[in-house]
Chain A
Amino acid sequence: EVQLVESGGGLVQPGGSLRLSCAASGFTFSSFAMTWVRQAPGKGLEWVAYISTGGSDFDYADSVKGRFTISRDNAKNSLFLQMDSLRAEDTALYFCAKHRGDYLNENYYYYMDVWGKGTTVTVSS
């Protein structure tokens, strides 16, 4: 069974740091790019970060650029999100998701086909 399990969430003070993890199983982790998506309380989904299969390419939402760092360990089938200089507005449920970029019939298709259940981050004093 394809599965993603996030961990590492918790309560942290503004300005603090937290490291989220996402354990992958049931698929060849190293063959797929990965993303983090978050959902603030009462709000919709917001893409946060992306990392390529080998970990050399990444991209971030403007709201977290310079504060968050995405990384991966393909040997351990794990994805990470290092969150520094946390703000109250970073409070959210954080999901990891498997990115798909498929080339079919002369078209590229991009989407997220598998999601974890999420881990909650609360930034508050």
Chain B
Amino acid sequence: EIVLTQSPGTLSLSPGETATLSCRASQSVISSYLAWYQHKPGQPPRLLIYGASTRATGIADRFRGSGSGTDFALTISRLEPEDYAVYYCQVFGSSPLYTFGQGTKLEIK
């Protein structure tokens, strides 16, 4: 079973700053199996990135996914008020079929 560890647990930044969120896998994963989601209270999770680095339809280019092997990152540039949310990485596997990281909460400083 692949375990995804996200860090930090909470990230406090001001609008305009750059956020870097980390997702570390317990074993090497295929990059095309790695996705990132944004989740706000009362809303459904929103796909941001798939294939580790491909932005989903309608996602601003301020969001950038990177990484390979066991280390992946989501970078959000020029933070805007609507970016404050919880972010999850996710990997497709065999057992279980999908694994999520525990999430990183991005809060306004």
Contact = CB atoms under 8 A, between A and B. Distances in A.
Interface of A: 35, 37, 44-47, 50, 59, 61-62, 95, 97, 100, 107-118
B51 interface: yes
Contact of A115 (B30, B42, B46, B51): B46
Nearest to B86: A44
B47 A47 contact: no
B103 A45 contact: yes
Given A62-B96, A110-B92, A111-B92, A44 B47 contact: no
B98 A95 contact: no
A111 B47 contact: yes
Contacts, number: 75
Nearest to B31: A107
B39 A45 contact: yes
A47 B95 CA distance: 11
Interface residues of B, number: 29
Contact of A95 (B42, B45, B86): B45
B44 A47 contact: no
B32 interface: yes
Contacts of B39: 45
A114 B86 CA distance: 17
A57 to B, nearest CB: 11
A111 B32 CA distance: 9
Given A111-B47, A112-B90, 10 more contacts: A35-B97, A45-B37, A45-B88, A95-B44, A100-B50, A107-B51, A109-B54, A111-B50, A111-B90, A115-B47
Contact of A110 (B33, B44, B54, B96): B33
Contacts of A62: 95-96
B96 A47 contact: yes
7 contacts: A50-B97, A59-B96, A109-B32, A111-B35, A112-B47, A113-B47, A115-B46
